[in-house]
Structure 1
Amino acid sequence: MLSHARRHRPFGRDAMAGWLFVLPVIIVLGLFLVLPVVMAAWVSVSDWTGRGSPFSSTVNFVGIDNYRDLLGEPGLAQRDFGTSIRNNVYYVLLVVPTQTAVALFLAVLVNKRIKSRGFFRTAFYFPSVTSSVAITVLFLFLFSASGAVNRMLSFIGLRGPNWFADPRGIIHIGLGWLGVDQPPAALTDGSLLGVNWWEWASGPSVAMCVFIVLAVFTTSGTFMLLFLSALQNIQAEIEEAAIVDGTTGWQRFRLITLPMLRPTIATVITLGLVGTWQVFDQIYTGTRGGPAKTTLTPAYQSYSASFLNQNWGQGAAIAFVLFAIIVVLTAVQRSLLRERDNDGKPGRVLSTLSFRRNAGGDS
């Protein structure tokens, strides 16, 4: 017992050897991760303008003023932040479910024994390794007023001279076609983060919809690989047992494949949430927040406040608010999709499936 305790002492000879091995990693993480986060936290509660050291005597502590300007004080900063949050909410709600469904569909498709399966896997994954700047420029060219997409839409009477530059959301555009041009009074009285409810319900602009299509196009291939790896880890005996039980392909997918893919689905959604809330490079390359700030995102607003307006305190505050949003939504998502006891286990899934078949409850 004494020798066992001696071997596991935190400062014993073996422990010191272990600390020496991990010390370089600790130093690197401390210098390039922990220290920048601490500095950014200080900047978010200061009036640093980007000149000199943020810890110099000329930099004043302003407390929560930068956060109050964004969240509690009516003004341009709050309205821009509210607009960016609205734009990003629509971006997240449309991109994450779509890219997850498309990635799962592609994974199931290329997991089958079909001809040229390797070619299709490469083709579906190729957009994910393409430069985001190059593919953003390509999409802007395709969807411009004189682009190929607009020319194709002209054949069905949907071409407009400046539809890509229209600042209205697609819901407002649809209501405009129905003759609804004025908002009801109930939607203009209240507001959230300086944006009234009528603007919150506008939907994404046409320009933002292009970025949504771009995100799905470029990320589905990466998530397809995650689903494909999970599908190949499902034992063939499980599917064979289900076939013997007389199930259809849809029943096997719904009652066996999906439950066993629960951890991968949770991972894909988590990565999707983090990535969509941090969208920046497409906005920077494409529209710089236009038209009329309908593609403005919190990440780009943080960059704009810091590097363009030299308001580094506000830019850091936006980054920390965005970090809090990502953490909260990720925690909620993981609590909703966490794997419960016995869920997705082959024995339980097969017994449930067999019971439903014998009872005639699942056709």
Structure 2
Amino acid sequence: MQHYFRAKPYYWFFQLLGWEAFWGTQVHAAFMLKKYQPSTLNWLTMTVVFGLLLTHGYRTLLLRFGVLRLPLVWQAVVAMLGLLGLSLSMQLLLPAAFTLLAGKWQWPYTSGVAGFVFGVIDIGRYLIVWVLAYHFFVAGEWLAQAQARELHAAAARRQAELDLLRSQINPHFLFNALNSVRALTLSDPHRARTAVTQLADLLRYTLNYEQRQLIPLGEELAAVQDYLALEQTRFGPERLRLDLQVPEALLAWPVPPAALLTLIENAVKHGISATPGGGLLRLVAQAAPAEPNNNAPAAECLHLEVSQPGHLPDPAAVLPACLPGQTGGLGLVNTRQRLLALYGDGARLTLREQPAGTVVARLNVPAAVLGVKLIA
């Protein structure tokens, strides 16, 4: 039971401060009203000592029996009973203690029962402040702790979701990369050895990014270039033409791992591979002001556009990469969910067909995650 008697330092600070203030105001009032007597200091000092002991004992009982975890209605009932008990105890213990000090019985209430009742009410005026302050303070503190626990639980759920999504990306990504190497072993063994080195770099990348929520765009771009080198060898430079426009100033921008790589894979699979004559795969990166419907706290967003030949079901529409309830590709589904977990509404991933015959995937990444600014 020792933990019931321990208290945080600020509890004792306010306890002592409050009772010292009571003692000081009562001494001042006695002087102002010309009621100060030699016994006044002794009486007030004993009042403060008993007040400290009784209120701390009341707190101990509240914690011992879990009263502060009850509904507010029951706490109110306990508070009223506790206030009455504290006031009565003070009025009974003070005369007894004063008698012990004086060496003879002294009953301070000359007007009998009425005086005793008045004394209970009088000291109750001060004790009610303590009781209400303590109950409301503890209720507020526990509410804050409950909210903190809820936030921690939400963060843990978000982290678990991200870990699950990242674990699902690896098989999807490696399957496509291995297909590229397999094709090379049949057509160009020498180039296949180079491809194995590039694939090893990609494997190293996947092993590293699983440990992080964000990586620099430059690191992601290096993996994209390795992947495109593999795919360009398989398709040929005429069928897979590349135009990569990524300013060096943006290479440090933090992005979710494999987000851009997934868009590139999707462009190769659904655009270049599905088009008999292939086409141009263009990647454009630029920093621009956040869009009006973007809730990111940063003043700028990183805009990534990946375009490839192809068509959408509705060429005039601008669609989310995966609509709710739609069975999109695993890579795009995971990317959209990871963006939602990391940025909330601060990031966007959309698909559009503009101009006709060209599908553009646009990814907007703010410079902040969960309200923490990462880039000035």
Tell me the TM-score normalized by structure 1. Answer: 0.23
Tell me the TM-score normalized by structure 2. Answer: 0.23
More helix by share: 1
